[in-house]
DNA sequence: GTCTATACTTTGATAGAC
DNA sequence: GTCTATCAAAGTATAGAC
């Protein structure tokens, strides 16, 4: 049981460094130092080295973040306010972490997009999953599947783009503006006659 | 005159590497090799080393990209189609460069946001300038200044977020979806009674 | 399985000849 | 101002004791 703890500690620590410093900005020595693990443990648990560790962290972080966001949406009274809550919640976390914790894989995704194909595929799998999950939920209130997917992608793009701007500017204004636009886009897709009963899950 | 060429070659090469490999993924030796410049030239022209070179590349790339986008908008018959042209043009460039050339400073902005304050400020200055320029133009068709700024930030966020998704997924679908949402957001801000005469610059 | 020591490469940076 | 040689540090990865 002690071994499982070491592996998880390495994964958690790496995920945190990836969020703050990116993939190229994170060293393996840095990881084991912070995780209180011996250096050899990295290659014991991840024989593929930094790349394998990166793949697992990307998949894991992507899944965790998806569960976080879908949890927020499912806790909201309706889809529109759920989307708004996601942006508002992200703004709170951003301020609480001094503009460090935003999307767990965005920085890595851009770093590896043109330089490391296996890692690019790992980030693509995460984004695909997010888009599918968001489309599924939005489709509950936007019957047109193509339209639902377009809105889902736009909401995610607004969130990711706002993260870049907010972290760089050290201001939540982009997150607030993007959140308002996301809510408006979803409202428009739902349509005026359906907006009043935008609850999800109940036919 | 030969010296000025070397400095510019270093700046151009660095900008290209930053777009594709990011800040941490770009080595100084890599730069001088590609730019056909002696290694010492970097510290001759940029005594502050990699950080100073990074600052100048960020400012320069930010200004060039702003001029590119405003040029597209000013060439369009109206603001709405101009915004649409920006996303469509970005999609063409992305495909032509095999999903490598998107925003010239986005990757670097995320990498340095929590790790290098001078470089973060350089990226913030660029985003501030983009937001100001976009707000100014959108304000020509959206009288409410606060609303114009909100739309401007959202359009930039949509573009940046779509870049992340499109590069990772190697598909222009996110860019197309975000473009459609950006156009719709601008149309809604202009309002139904003004949409037919959305031309800019003429009172 | 755990942990340490080390090899090898690349990094940013500097010194000094020309 | 151009160019080369070199430094110290950090990077990933491996070998081997325990």
A41-86 pLDDT per residue, tens: 999 999 999 999 999 999 999 999 999 999 999 999 999 999 999 9
Query: Does the beta carbon of B30 lie under 8 angstroms from any beta carbon of chain A?
Result: no
Closest B-chain CA to A186: B181
Q: What is the mean pLDDT of residues B90-100?
A: 98
Mean pLDDT score of chain A, rounded to an integer? 93
Q: What is the mean pLDDT of residues B19-41?
A: 95
Provide the token pair at A21.
């410093």
Residue B163 CA to residue A167 CA, distance in Å, equals 17
| Residue B37, phi then psi, degrees to nearest 5 | -125, 150
Q: What is the mean pLDDT of residues B113-141?
A: 98
Can you give the pLDDT at residue A102?
Answer: 98
Confidence of residue A152 (pLDDT cuts 50, 70, 90): very high
Can you give the pLDDT at residue B5?
Answer: 87
Residue A119 has pLDDT above 70, yes or no: yes
Nucleotide nearest to B32 (CA to C1'): D3
Can you give the pLDDT at residue B150?
Answer: 98
Residue A120 CA to residue A115 CA, distance in Å, equals 8
B140-191 pLDDT per residue, tens: 999 999 999 999 999 999 999 999 999 999 999 999 999 999 999 999 999 9
Nucleotides of C under 7 A from a protein CB: 1-6, 10-16
Query: Comparing C-alpha atoms, which of A87, A10, A85 is closest to residue A46?
Result: A10
Residue B60 has pLDDT above 60, yes or no: yes
- CB of B81 within 8 A of CB of B88? no
Pairwise CB contact (< 8 Å): A111 & B111: yes
Provide the 3-class DSSP secondary structure of residue B48: coil
Query: Does the beta carbon of A187 lie under 8 angstroms from any beta carbon of chain B?
Result: no
Chain A stretch 7-26, residues whose beta carbon is closer than 8 A to a beta carbon of chain B: 20-22, 24-25
Can you give the pLDDT at residue B3?
Answer: 41
How distant, in Å, are the alpha carbons of A84, B33, B50, B104 from that of B30? 44, 5, 12, 18
Residue A202 has pLDDT above 60, yes or no: no
Residue A114 CA to residue A168 CA, distance in Å, equals 22
- CB of B15 within 8 A of CB of B34? no
From chain A, pick out residues whose CB is under 8 angstroms from the CB of B185.
181, 184-185
Q: Determine whether B203 is exposed, middle or buried from the number of CB atoms within 10 Å of its CB (0-12, 13-18, 19+).
A: exposed
Neighbours of B75 (CB within 10 A): 9
CB within 7 A of strand D: which residues qualify?
A 26-30, 39-40, 42-43, 49-51; B 2-3, 6, 37-41, 44
- When CB atoms are compared, the residue of A124, A164, A184 closest to B188 is A184
Query: Comparing C-alpha atoms, which of B71, B65, B73, B88 is closest to residue B180?
Result: B88
Name the residue with tokens 């114009």.
Answer: B148
Q: What is the mean pLDDT of residues B79-99?
A: 98
Q: Which domains does chain B have, with CATH numbers?
A: 57-195 (1.10.357.10)
Residue B193 has pLDDT above 90, yes or no: no
Can you give the pLDDT at residue A194?
Answer: 57
Smallest CA–CA distance, residue A2 to chain B, in Å, is 33
Residue A198 has pLDDT above 70, yes or no: no
Query: Does the beta carbon of A86 lie under 8 angstroms from any beta carbon of chain B?
Result: no
Of A31-45, A75-89, B1-15, B125-139, least confident by mean pLDDT is B1-15
Can you give the pLDDT at residue B192?
Answer: 76
From chain A, pick out residues whose CB is under 8 angstroms from the CB of B20.
114-115
A165-178 pLDDT per residue, tens: 999 999 999 999 99
Q: What percent of chain A has pLDDT over 70?
A: 93
Can you give the pLDDT at residue B197?
Answer: 45
Nucleotide nearest to A42 (CA to C1'): D13
Nucleotide nearest to A38 (CA to C1'): C3
Can you give the pLDDT at residue A192?
Answer: 75
């Amino acid at each position: 049981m002690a071994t499982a703890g070491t592996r998880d500690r390495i994964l958690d620590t790496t995920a945190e460094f990836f969020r703050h410093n990116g993939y190229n900005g994170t060293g393996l020595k840095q990881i084991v130092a912070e995780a209180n693990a011996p250096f050899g443990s990295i290659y014991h648990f991840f024989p593929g080295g930094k790349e394998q560790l990166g793949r697992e962290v990307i998949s894991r972080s992507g899944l965790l973040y998806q569960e976080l966001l879908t949890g927020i949406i499912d806790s909201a009274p309706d889809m529109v306010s759920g989307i708004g809550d996601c942006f508002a919640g992200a703004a709170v976390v951003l301020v609480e972490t001094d503009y460090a914790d935003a999307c767990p894989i965005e920085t890595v995704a851009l770093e590896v997009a043109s330089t490391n194909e296996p890692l690019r595929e790992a980030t693509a799998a995460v984004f695909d999953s997010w888009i599918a999950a968001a489309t599924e939920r939005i489709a509950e209130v936007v019957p047109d599947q193509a339209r639902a997917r377009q809105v889902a992608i736009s909401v995610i793009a607004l969130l990711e783009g706002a993260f870049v701007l907010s972290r760089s500017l050290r201001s939540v204004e982009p997150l607030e503006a993007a959140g308002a636009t996301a809510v408006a886009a979803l409202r428009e897709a739902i349509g005026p006659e359906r907006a009043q009963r935008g609850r999800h899950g109940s036919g």
